[in-house]
């Protein structure tokens, strides 16, 4: 799209996803390295229980068009939240706080009905479950695989964690998620899975 356009995808009623070029992306990263991720990253806005909830939001190049659209979403909202799945995904959080007075991830105890946080202990990540949309929102631990499915993050993405978490241990952390009726998995890196999400996640976990 041109710098003047902004066209988020309607994933489900009240749930929109868009991508934006991350300013810290660098080309030519070694496959499987910590820098091995796509230039465009996924972002969400959900309307739930009178709240406008941003997750891992990054203002795109079409900045003016984005803010017009986001302002419209705020008109009927009683409050705004700017949530992150992982510390690296704070992205445009401060801008959302400044513009809308958005609460941040510290307010996870007061999430609107229909939204639940799922902490992956030792993995440095909090996923979110959108019950009405049957959508799991993932940060860095589950990625699009480039072929319509999902994969786990590279081992190198875990090395900074003080827990020493391995990919095999990550699999164990993720396995309880298969108890959820997941239809969609909305990832930050790669393409989302919009149907058959539970099966795709099960295959990624192995």
Q: What is the pLDDT of residue 175?
A: 98
Rounded Cα distance, 83 and 97, in Å: 11
Rounded Cα distance, 192 and 32, in Å: 20
Do the beta carbons of residue 16 and residue 6 sit within 8 Å?
no
Rounded Cα distance, 37 and 143, in Å: 10
Q: Extract the residue ranges of the chain whose pLDDT is less than 70.
A: 1-4, 106-109
Structural domains of the chain sorted by starting position, each given as residue range(s) with its CATH number in brackets: 9-205 (3.60.15.10)
DSSP, res 201 = H
Q: What is the pLDDT of residue 107?
A: 63
Q: What is the pLDDT of residue 4?
A: 58
* Joined tokens for residue 146: 């480039």
Instruction: Tokens 């820098």: give the residue.
Output: 35
Rounded Cα distance, 182 and 95, in Å: 31
Rounded Cα distance, 10 and 17, in Å: 7
Q: What is the pTM of this model?
A: 0.94
């Amino acid at each position: 799209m041109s710098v003047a356009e902004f066209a988020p995808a309607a994933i489900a009623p009240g749930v929109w996803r868009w991508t934006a070029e991350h300013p810290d992306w660098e080309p030519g990263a070694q496959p499987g390295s910590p820098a091995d991720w796509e230039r465009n990253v996924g972002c969400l806005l959900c309307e739930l229980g009178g709240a406008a909830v941003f997750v891992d939001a990054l203002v795109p190049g079409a900045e003016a068009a984005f803010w017009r659209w986001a302002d419209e979403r705020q008109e009927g909202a009683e409050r705004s939240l700017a949530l992150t799945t992982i510390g690296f995904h704070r992205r445009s959080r401060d801008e959302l706080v400044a513009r809308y007075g958005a609460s941040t991830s510290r307010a996870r105890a007061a999430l609107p009905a229909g939204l639940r946080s799922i902490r992956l202990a030792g993995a440095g990540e909090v996923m979110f479950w959108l019950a009405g949309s049957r959508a799991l929102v993932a940060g860095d631990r589950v990625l699009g695989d480039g072929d319509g499915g999902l994969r786990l993050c590279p081992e190198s993405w875990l090395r900074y964690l003080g827990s020493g978490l391995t990919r095999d241990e990550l699999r164990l952390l993720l396995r309880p998620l298969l108890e959820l009726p997941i239809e969609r998995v909305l990832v930050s890196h790669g393409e989302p899975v919009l149907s058959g999400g539970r099966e795709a996640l099960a295959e990624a976990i192995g």
